[in-house]
Amino acid sequence: MRGVVEVYRGDEKILEEPNMIMDNTGELIVDVLTLFRDISSIPTASAILDTSNYTIRAATLGKDAAGYSHHAHSDLLGLGDDIIRVISYEDTSVSSYHTSAFGIATNTAILPEASHPKMKRLESASTAVSGLYDYGHNVNRVGLSLDDKKFGCYAPSGEFKVYIVSGPVEVGDVDQKVIVSATLNNTRGFNSFQNPSAIDSRGFIVNTVNSVAEGKALEDAETYRGVLISHDSDWGTGNLDVRAVIGISPEDLIVLNAYGGVYNIGLWGIDLKKMINKGMLPPYDLTASDDMEYKLLARKTFTRDITYYADDTPYAGLIQVVTGTTSDLKFVWRWVFK
């Protein structure tokens, strides 16, 4: 078994690379092979045998650990309003946010930690912002309150604004130093992670389908909600590859870019032992919940920000995404069983 990650903009494949499968995946396989089937006769334990406990249940997106102190997380942008701001480190004629420009200007390494099989989270170092929410990946706190805006990292529900600015912003500078701005309404295009409640506050984007057939139908209809477990069109005729598909809405794409982009991604399964130890027995709903416990099954890192859109005269990179001038982004994580 091996994993391959593909990234698409519209119908164009812009990247295809292998991923790192974690030791936790081996543990999951062993758990399946050593299940004691006789527990099926015990009402309180029979649901442990359900196959949904032993599949991909969530995904997370992230960046380098140091990035959680910069970009739209920065304290230089804390005005106490609901505008998401990020400081550009390029000429003011450039109206996209380029995380590598920040790295060059500040002499800051922006690449994530190298993968190794024993990793338990996307980044081993602290990803806390102001000492909170250290999960190793991007969290989902924007829109919960004005104080939560700096934690990031996904588009809130409803209308919101994103500004790319030329420098630190203080009270009284609300509309100053703006290079480009956009007002977005998180109800159009792809389904945002928020709209079908497919993401919890910790940033776990959950699997929302009951079968690969359902996932395939939604993928074909370009109706993306959370993580879709899907398959190729020739699945079952010698091809047993399973696909985890994640479509990113324009709104989430813009906000993820402002908070430092996407440089790594992980797939997670249920940590059944932790759940049972907490007194939470299966079956588990296919909904986002901060009560769920997961373990990292696979991780993929990128050497560039997958969310970045360059300017294309006369459109700013930011405006291209807002207006639909450019294509949306889709991750396809293929598990190859051969």
Across 57-85, average pLDDT:
89
CA distance 246 to 208: 11
Strand order of the β-sheet with 159-165 is 83-87, 159-165, 178-185
CA distance 333 to 322: 26
CA distance 206 to 225: 9
Beta-strand relationship, 205-206 and 56-62: antiparallel
Q: How many CB atoms lie within 10 A of CB 115?
A: 17
CA distance 20 to 7: 16
Q: Which pLDDT score, from 0 to 100, does residue 189 have?
A: 46
Across 171-180, average pLDDT:
78
Three-state secondary-structure class, residue 31:
helix
Beta-strand relationship, 2-9 and 178-185: unpaired
Q: Which pLDDT score, from 0 to 100, does residue 61 have?
A: 97
Q: No. of H helices and E strands in the chain?
A: 6, 13
Q: pLDDT tens, 222-279?
A: 888 889 998 776 666 666 678 899 988 888 888 999 999 999 999 999 999 999 999 9
Domain boundaries of the chain, sorted by first residue? 2-336
Distance set, CA 262 to CA 43, 109, 265, 338 (Å): 43, 14, 8, 30
Q: pLDDT tens, 281-300?
A: 999 988 899 999 999 999 99
Q: pLDDT tens, 106-121?
A: 888 889 999 999 999 9
Q: Which two tokens stand for residue 223?
A: 């109706």
CA distance 303 to 323: 27
Q: Which two tokens stand for residue 208?
A: 């929302």
> What is the rounded average pLDDT for all residues in the chain?
86
Cβ contact 248:330 at 8 Å = yes
Q: Report whether pLDDT(104) > 60.
A: yes
Most confident of 63-67, 157-161, 171-175: 63-67
Across 295-322, average pLDDT:
79
Q: Report whether pLDDT(127) > 90.
A: yes
Q: pLDDT tens, 198-229?
A: 999 999 999 988 888 899 898 888 888 889 99
Across 187-191, average pLDDT:
54
Q: Which two tokens stand for residue 332?
A: 């396809």
Name the more confident of 1 and 216. 216
Across 184-195, average pLDDT:
68
Phi, psi of 69 (to 5 degrees): -105, 0
Name the more confident of 309 and 140. 140
Q: Partners of 164 in the beta sheet?
A: 86, 180
Cβ contact 137:112 at 8 Å = no
Q: Which pLDDT score, from 0 to 100, does residue 17 have?
A: 92
